[in-house]
């Protein structure tokens, strides 16, 4: 299917889950910046990016979905009556479906959706893309008043931007009480279901585990030149290490790393795939979950937690104008439940439940603060670009 300006919309089925992919002319793809005046993360070149995306979404959505009135959805999301679970399940089954936007890899988001479908008989349509595209699409739909999405799950800063824009809504789930404190922002418009850990991923056929340095600075040895890669948008990882070490030590490390000219690859899933293919021996900013997913399938990859281990909360939220608010809330309940948390853990993700033991319990770590990320994006983006994007 073609949209305006030759933009291609692809629908495909993966493991019984319908997945929509929207390829908006990669040469025009925009990144995410922080708009200090507006106090939020926003796509760069907002006028062009959102206008183009909105046009495509109008084609996809047709006449648009019928959303609940905001007051009605809020009453659903915040209900705490004794009959909450029974009522929620019955109403969600009556709705029969939901649309889920996520940046989680298809191998994991599909399994999560399938488990929910199996338990409740409610169809889950998954639209998966990079976090910046999830943010852009949700904002564009809200701007166009085409309410299609029910649940959003992607990087914490992007979901927090949606909260600031009033695209997602406060909700209650009894499972929130079991989450780590960092997973629950004060406004309760989203919670963190999992953490992305920045780890050193490596190809086991090209690099031995005992050769991986115990510190990032060990990778400054000239022998690693030509063997390293980083994901192209990981300026928040840079910022975390500089603040942890202090600016003199931190900036000295990154200047020397830049001198080694590590390869840059856009997308953490792609980075993990290239490590598995042997094209990249070592990725310094791989996500542990992506490496574990490939390893589980027999791929020649593994990862090491080099201290300090940097983690970034992922956000899970219900859309304020969800067409299927009961199904949306039930899906969030499922993800946050012991069953959902254990499924994330089995898939190599890092759940935020206090009842699940993870690498965060055994390794010195830094948990990125979502609000701080938004406030400092411009600063660290400038440093990153000067070092690695010349």
With a cut of 80, say whether residue 70 has pLDDT above it.
Answer: no
The CATH superfamily assigned to 4-194+316-355 is Periplasmic binding protein-like II (3.40.190.10)
Write down the pLDDT at residue 66: 60
Q: Is 164 exposed, middle or buried (0-12, 13-18, 19+ CB in 10 A)?
A: middle
Give the residue extent of every domain in the chain: 4-194+316-355, 196-312+360-388
What residues have CB less than 8 Å from 166, skipping those under 6 apart? 320
| Local confidence band at 374 (pLDDT 50, 70, 90 cut-offs) | confident
Reduced to 3 states, what is the DSSP secondary structure of residue 280?
coil
- Compute the average pLDDT of residues 27-49: 38
Mean pLDDT calculated for residue range 263-273: 95
> What is the percentage of the chain residues whose pLDDT exceeds 70?
82
Is the predicted pLDDT of residue 15 greater than 70, yes or no?
no
**Mean pLDDT on 248-277:** 97
Lowest mean pLDDT among 26-40, 300-314, 327-341: 26-40
The answer, yes or no, to whether residue 297 has pLDDT greater than 80, is yes
**pTM, 2 dp:** 0.78
Provide the pLDDT for residue 23.
27
The predicted structure's pLDDT at residue 363? 78
Beta 97-102 vs 123-128: how paired, if at all? Answer: parallel
pLDDT of residue 71: 63
> What pLDDT is recorded for position 155?
94
The pLDDT score that the predictor gives to residue 348 is 87
Mean pLDDT of 236-262: 96
Same fold, 4-194+316-355 and 196-312+360-388: yes
- SS3 assignment, position 8: strand
> Across the strands, what pairs with 283?
201, 229
Average pLDDT over residues 174-179: 98
Q: What is the pLDDT of residues 101-110, one digit of tens each?
A: 999 989 899 9
Q: Kindly tell me if the per-residue pLDDT of 64 is higher than 70.
A: no
Q: Predicted confidence band at 328 (pLDDT cuts at 50, 70, 90)?
A: very high
196-312+360-388 carries CATH number 3.40.190.10: yes
Which pLDDT belongs to residue 53? 54
d(CA 383, CA 178): 38
pLDDT of res. 360: 82
User: CB under 8 Å to 201, separation ≥6 — which residues?
Assistant: 271, 272, 275, 282, 283, 286, 288, 290, 291, 301, 302, 303
At 17, give phi and psi (nearest 5°). -105, 125
Q: What is the pLDDT of residues 233-243, one digit of tens each?
A: 999 999 999 99
Q: Per-residue pLDDT tens for 303-314?
A: 999 988 999 999
Per-residue confidence (pLDDT) for residue 65, from 0 to 100: 54
How far, rounded to the nearest angstrom, does the alpha carbon of residue 120 sit from its chain's CA centroid? Answer: 25
pLDDT, position 11: 33
Of 25 and 71, the structure prediction assigns the larger pLDDT to 71
Whether pLDDT at 207 is above 60:
yes
Terminus-to-terminus CA distance in the chain, angstroms? 37
Work out the pLDDT band at 49, boundaries 50, 70, 90. Answer: low
Q: Give the residue carrying structure tokens 């090209």.
A: 206
pLDDT above 90 (res 100): yes
Measured between alpha carbons, how far is 153 from 167 in angstroms, rounded to an integer?
A: 13
By residue count, the chain amounts to 390
In sequence order, which residues have a C-beta less than 8 Å from that of residue 149 and are 6 or more positions away?
Answer: 99, 100, 101, 127, 137, 138, 141, 319, 322
Tell me the mean pLDDT in the region 258-286. Answer: 97
């Amino acid at each position: 299917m073609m949209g305006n300006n030759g933009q291609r919309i692809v629908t495909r089925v993966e493991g019984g889950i319908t997945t929509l992919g929207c390829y908006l002319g990669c040469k025009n793809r925009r990144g995410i910046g922080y708009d200090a005046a507006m106090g939020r993360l926003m796509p760069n070149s907002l006028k062009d990016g959102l206008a183009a995306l909105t046009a495509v979404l109008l084609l996809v959505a047709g006449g648009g979905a019928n959303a609940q009135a905001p007051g009605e959805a809020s009453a659903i999301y915040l209900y705490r009556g004794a009959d909450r679970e029974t009522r929620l399940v019955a109403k969600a089954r009556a709705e029969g479906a939901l649309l889920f936007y996520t940046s989680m890899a298809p191998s994991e988001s599909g399994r999560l959706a399938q488990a929910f479908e199996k338990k409740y008989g409610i169809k889950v349509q998954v639209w998966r893309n990079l976090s910046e595209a999830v943010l852009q699409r949700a904002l564009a739909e809200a701007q166009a008043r085409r309410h299609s999405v029910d649940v959003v799950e992607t990087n914490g800063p992007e979901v927090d931007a949606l909260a600031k824009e009033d695209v997602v809504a406060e909700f209650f789930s009894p499972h929130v009480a079991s989450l780590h404190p960092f997973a629950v922002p004060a406004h309760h418009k989203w919670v963190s279901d999992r953490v992305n850990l920045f780890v050193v991923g490596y190809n086991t056929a090209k690099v031995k585990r005992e050769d991986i340095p115990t510190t990032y600075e060990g990778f400054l040895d000239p022998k690693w030149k030509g063997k390293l890669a980083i994901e192209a948008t990981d300026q928040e990882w840079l910022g975390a290490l500089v603040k942890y070490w202090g600016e003199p030590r931190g900036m000295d490390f990154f200047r020397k790393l830049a001198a080694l000219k590590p390869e840059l690859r856009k997308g953490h899933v792609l980075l993990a795939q290239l490590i598995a293919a042997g094209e990249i021996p070592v990725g310094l900013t791989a996500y542990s979950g992506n490496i574990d997913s490939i390893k589980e399938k027999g791929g020649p990859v593994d990862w090491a937690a080099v201290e300090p281990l940097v983690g970034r909360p992922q956000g899970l939220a219900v859309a304020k104008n969800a067409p299927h608010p009961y199904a949306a809330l039930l899906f969030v309940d499922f993800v946050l439940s012991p069953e959902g948390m254990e499924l994330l853990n089995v898939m190599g993700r890092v759940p935020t439940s206090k009842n699940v033991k993870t690498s965060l319990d055994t390794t010195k770590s830094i948990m990125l603060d979502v609000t701080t990320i938004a406030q400092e994006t411009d600063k660290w983006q400038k440093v990153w670009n000067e070092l690695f994007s010349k």
